[in-house]
Amino acid sequence: MNITLTQKERMLLEDQKSHEQICIEKYANYANQAKDTQLKQICKANEQVERNHLNTINQLLNGTIPDMNSQQNQNPQQNMNNTQVSGSNLSDKDMCSDLLMTEKYVSGTYDTTIFEFRDTKVRDILNHIQKEEQKHGEAIFKYMESKGMYNVQ
């Protein structure tokens, strides 16, 4: 199914596209830098889902409503310029804090974007992505909590 985007909808999707690209880069970089194997796995898994999000956003920008059932198992190979942060001295805790803050921000921007779309199907797709962003944040939160890096008061 094809859609015609308003200028505002297109602008909001372009913003989400840049957010997804940053998430992909962060997860890829942190997967390479993390000392803990469990954190590496979380980063790699979240990176793949972020690539699916980017693919979905690109399809929307191209005027196509993606079939979310077929999106679940795709492994799109986006030609990303994954800049490696060399010589970074971030601890696993610092990386997690950055990732959690990023997920909070990205989830919030999806909230605004969802409310600006006319098409219910697109709203549902964006809501699906937002829920996955929240799951990423939850995985990071639970990891941090289990390692004593985040204490709920």
Taking the domains of the chain in order of start, what are their residue ranges? 7-70+88-146
What is the pLDDT at residue 75? Answer: 43
Model confidence pLDDT, tens digit, residues 3-28: 999 999 999 999 999 999 999 999 99
List Cα–Cα distances, 47 to 8, 96, 103, 107, 147, in angstroms: 28, 14, 12, 15, 21
What is the pLDDT at residue 89? Answer: 80
Residue type, 51: R
Q: Quick one: which of 152, 30, 4 has its CA closest to 103? A: 30
What is the pLDDT at residue 152? Answer: 81
* Reported confidence tier of residue 80, pLDDT bands at 50, 70, 90: very low
Written out in words, the top-level CATH class of the domain with range 7-70+88-146 is: mainly alpha
Model confidence pLDDT, tens digit, residues 96-151: 999 999 999 999 999 999 999 999 999 999 999 999 999 999 999 999 999 999 88
Three-state secondary structure call for residue 2: strand
What is the pLDDT at residue 127? Answer: 97
* Reported confidence tier of residue 68, pLDDT bands at 50, 70, 90: confident
Gap between the Cα atoms of 93 and 147, Å rounded: 9
Tokens of 80: 């990303």
Record the pTM. 0.86
